[in-house]
Structures are given as structure tokens and as C-alpha cells.
Amino acid sequence: METAQLLYPEVRNYIAGNFTSSEAQTLEVISPLDGSMLSTVPLSGQKELDEAVKAAQAAFPKWSAMPIKERVQIFYRYKTLLEQNLEELTELVHRENGKTMGEARAEVEKAIELTEFACSLPQLVAGEILEVSAGVECRLEKKPLGVVASITPFNFPNMVPHWTIPNALALGNCLILKPSEKVPISANRIAELLTEAGLPAGVFNVVNGAQELVEAICDHPDIQAVSFVGSTKVAKIVYRRATSNLKRCVALGGAKNHLIVLPDANVALTAAGVAASMSGCAGQRCMAGSAMVGVGPVDAIIEQIVAEAKKIIPGENLGSVISKEAKERIERYISEAEKSGAKVLVDGRNATVKGKENGYYVGPTIIDFVTPDMAIAQEEVFGPVLAIIRAKTLDEALQIENQSNYGNAASVFTQSGGLARYVIENASAGMIGVNVGVPVPREPFSFGGWNESKFGTCDITGKSSIEFWTQLKKTTTKWNPEAGINWMS
Ligand code: NAD
């Protein structure tokens, strides 16, 4: 294993405005592109978390008392810093996560858009006031919660932390970020840039770790709210544990997104959209369209999807998957589907990239005649794999979509407005695409799924996140309505 030139010599915790070395055991951070070691990350626990919570508590009174118009000035500066450091941040995401440079750049650009939304918060959070009877007024204000936490997954090392950081902080909270231990480097750079933008010490803290740290966050009496993004298995654990400790929690989980393709769909647009949805970020997106339900005669469209998939080359326009275990898991799903009678039209197993033989690659894979009972049709594969299920009618397709435990996204490809509307109304998913394979809502619209793709009432971004990161203060004021009438005489 190559260790000579580490990309980032040591990932550290960032507490009270300082990067601190930890005595905790460390883990190697491996680039999935080529298996090289990039850095080490501490597996912190209760002690480091306590330090971060204390720092955040100390910063909260002054930070929350600062008018929001002043707080967001820091995010205007931070947005400029993200733009100025776009290429470096892109390279970090590419190296630690394995996605292509283009995908990594798009991720950082999305982080910039999320920061831009936070800059607009003063226009959105104004309270309400009404005279409810003579001399009596009611006033409602949105107040921050205090110390809050954000736990993030490996697949978007830069963007997903920005789902929470700018909004939670601009709204007056102090935050502890627990990044994925698989991709912790971007979070250290985020801390450096927030500091450069002028964020006061203790307002934002990064504590690195894994399961033990997540459990400590859920149990900590001085953390008011927990935001989680990751697999459904862990989302359930975190949601149950945080709420049983009487915390506010939103926990986003995994996905199995269905792309319903109708025979009247535009062949070229649909094929390009389906292929990009299933293969982008090597299929490691919670918005990946991993199951296509073809309704009726859609063979011409499938032929074109196969042609599109053959243009996707590992190491060129397709990045790696995150680990050896992930590669093995994805290939196992493909082999099991094949054994159960599905037909592999494009086979991405055993992919290697010349010069990067220690990287973890799976080529684009298209499997036809998958049946709804197969594991590949029901479970999240999280690789560049499309399972095609055939249905005779749109209602049958919707029934397949509705049976999924998940409900992050669903798309329909058709030229009929009426049929599209029918899918919008009847698909059981939080985010719907019409002729769009990855229907991520842009700011100010909120991001969040249904069913086992999200636990908790609010969405994680956009306007809905304002509700999550604030609590309402209601004040009723009464003054003598006659007061002052003869005051000057
Ligand atoms: P993961 O659930 O393994 O890890 C997420 C976080 O939880 C990490 O910070 C990790 O350290 C921690 N963790 C892992 N196991 C834990 C345990 N047993 N107890 C407590 N904490 C634990 O997820 P991942 O593999 O990093 O990310 C991929 C998953 O995230 C996929 O399922 C994907 O669909 C999902 N995801 C969902 C969304 C969404 O918006 N719904 C967005 C991105 C990713």
C-alpha cells in the first residue's frame, strides 16, 4: 500500500476553533480510486464529544443573540471561499469518495447553492405579529434550539454536510458534525474555510468517529436535535435512540427508486436519463434510479439504454465504488439475480482499470426480466446496476413501486401529461420526476423522501429545514390602550 505522500496527513477533530489531536484509535482513510492511503481519522468517543458540546454551549449565547442579518454575512464570505477553492474541494471529494471529477465538482457546486439558500434566510424567517384585541398583540418568532448535531454518510462528503451546516448555523444554532469515517477529509477543509470566513470559535465543531460516537450523540443530554443521513438500518437506530432521549430528529435512510417507462416515451431522452440515473456516482446516490419498470412494448428503449450503458467506462466517465466490500456486495446481487433467471444484458462484474488495479470498480450493469420478488428488485444495491422489471399495465407498475419499503424518489418517462399526472398522484415517494431521472428539488424546495427513506416530520433542506432548526416563541403583550393620550399635557 502506498503511504509515501498522504493527501491530508491527519484528519483531526475541530473543537472550540482549534484542530485537536485525539488519543483515540485511528482508522486509515483509503482512496477507492486506487486503494492508496490518503490519511488517518480518529475514532473519537464520549470524551471528545463532551469537549465539543461544551465548546458549542459556550458559543451559543453570543451566536444566537447576533441578528440573523449579521450571521449570514459570514455565509456570504464562506460562499465566496467555496467558489475560490472549488477545484481543491472537488479533488478532495474525487480522491476520498472515488466519484469522477465532474461529479465531485457538481457536488461542491450544490454545496455552494445550499450556502446561497442560507444567505437568503433573513428574507424567510421573519416572525408574525397581530393585534388580537385592543392593546393586546401576539407575536411569534423563530428561535434556535441550542447545540445540535449532524451525522453524514460516505456518498457525498461535501454536499450532505452542507444540507445541515449553513441552515442550522445561520438560524442561530451551534453544530457538531460527525462525518462518515470513510470520507472525513472534506469536513476538515469545510472547518478551515468556515474559520477563514469568520465563524466564531465553538459555533461549528467536527468530531470524527463511528458507531460509538453516533450512540453518544443520540444519548447526550445537551444536544437538542439530531439530523442523520445514511442507510435505513442505521436511520432507524438513530431515530429511535435520539427520540427516546426526547430529542428532535430527522433521519434520512436508503432508497430503491423506480423509473416507470411508458411505451410512448421519447426513446433518446429516456435512455439517456435512465442510464445517467442508474450509473451517476457509480449508483451510490440515494436518488439513483436502480429499478426500471417497463410498461408494455419498451424494447426499443431498452436497446437504447444498453447502447448508452456501453458508453460508460470505469475509470473514465464512471468512478469507483467505495470499498472492496461494496464491490463484492454489488457483484453478489448481480450473480444472484442471474441465477434466479434474470438476463444480464450488460455485465459490469470483474471490472478493472489499468494502472488502478487496487481500486474498486464495477462497470455499468443492465439486467432484464427481473421479477419483483428478487432481492435485486427490493433491496438497495448502491452500485451502477439497473434492474428492469416488465409490467403489462401502468397500474401494475405503480403497484410494484408502491410495494417498496422505501419511498425516496420515483420517476415516469412519458409524453402524456395525463399519465404523468396519474403517476405523480399514485406513486408512494417524496420526490417525483417527470422525464427526469434524478428529481432532486433545487432550493428553496426541500429534500426528503417518504416511508423508510425518512423518519421524522421535516425535510432536511429548503424551507422545511427552517422548522426543524427552530422553535416558536409566542409572546402576548398588553398595554393600556389609553396610555399616552394626555401624556404631554
Ligand atoms: P451508513 O448508515 O452506514 O452510515 C451513515 C453514518 O452512520 C456514518 O456517519 C456512520 O459512521 C454511522 N454509522 C454506521 N453504522 C452505524 C451504527 N451501527 N450505529 C450508529 N451509527 C452508525 O451509510 P453509508 O454507507 O455511509 O451511506 C450510504 C447510505 O446512505 C445509503 O443507504 C444511501 O441511500 C443513504 N443516503 C441517503 C440519503 C437520503 O437523502 N435519503 C442521502 C445520502 C445517502
The owner of cell 455565509 is: 75
Residue 190 Cα to ligand 1 midpoint, Å, equals 20
Q: What angle do CA 59, 121, 222 make, to 5 degrees?
A: 30
Instruction: Look at residue 287 and give its three-state secondary structure.
Output: coil
The arithmetic mean of pLDDT across residues 329-333, rounded, is 98
Whole-number pLDDT of residue 286: 98
Known catalytic residues are 286
pLDDT in tens, 162-174: 999 999 999 999 9
The set of residues, in sequence order, having a beta carbon less than 8 Å from that of 29 and lying 6+ positions away, is 8, 11, 37, 38, 39, 40, 41, 96, 182, 183, 184, 185
Q: Identity (one letter) of the amino acid at 363? A: G
Tell me the C-alpha distance between 331 and 350, whole Å. Answer: 8
Mean pLDDT for all residues in the chain = 96
151 pocket-lining for ligand 1 (C-beta < 6 Å):
yes
Q: What angle do CA 195, 198, 201 make, to 5 degrees?
A: 60
153 pocket-lining for ligand 1 (C-beta < 6 Å):
yes
Phi, psi of 290 (to 5 degrees): -100, -10
381 pocket-lining for ligand 1 (C-beta < 6 Å):
no
Cα torsion through 76, 81, 87, 90, rounded to 10: -70
Residue 239 Cα to ligand 1 midpoint, Å, equals 13
0.90 exceeded by the pTM? yes
Whole-number pLDDT of residue 256: 98
Whole-number pLDDT of residue 488: 63
Kindly state the cell numbers that stand for 445.
424546495
- Percent of the chain clearing pLDDT 70 (strictly above): 98
Pocket perturbation via mutation, ligand 1, pick of 41, 228, 231, 241 by most ligand atoms within 8 A of CB:
231
Residue 151 Cα to ligand 1 midpoint, Å, equals 8
**Does residue 116 contact residue 141 with C-beta atoms inside 8 Å?**
no
Residue 395 has pLDDT above 50, yes or no: yes
365 pocket-lining for ligand 1 (C-beta < 6 Å):
no
Residue 143 has pLDDT above 50, yes or no: yes
The set of residues, in sequence order, having a beta carbon less than 8 Å from that of 369 and lying 6+ positions away, is 341, 342, 343, 388, 390
> Residue 431 pairs with which residues in a beta bridge?
409
pLDDT in tens, 70-113: 999 999 999 999 999 999 999 999 999 999 999 999 999 999 99
pLDDT in tens, 411-427: 999 999 999 999 999 99
ipTM here: 0.99
184 pocket-lining for ligand 1 (C-beta < 6 Å):
no
Length of the chain: 489
Kindly state the cell numbers that stand for 74.
459570514
Phi, psi of 369 (to 5 degrees): 55, 40
Whole-number pLDDT of residue 449: 98
Residue 30 has pLDDT above 50, yes or no: yes
pLDDT in tens, 448-485: 999 999 999 999 999 999 999 999 999 999 988 777 76
The arrangement of strands across the sheet holding 470-478 comes to 128-133, 136-144, 470-478
Q: Which atom of ligand 1 is nearest to the CA of 152?
A: 9
Residue 153 Cα to ligand 1 midpoint, Å, equals 4
Q: Which atom of ligand 1 is nearest to the CA of 254?
A: 34
Whole-number pLDDT of residue 299: 98
The residue whose C-alpha atom lies closest to atom 43 belonging to ligand 1 is 286
406 pocket-lining for ligand 1 (C-beta < 6 Å):
no
What letter would DSSP give residue 434? E
The residue whose C-alpha atom lies closest to atom 14 belonging to ligand 1 is 211
List the one residue out of 431, 448, 427, 449 whose CA is nearest residue 293: 427
pLDDT in tens, 340-366: 999 999 999 999 999 999 999 999 999
Whole-number pLDDT of residue 8: 84
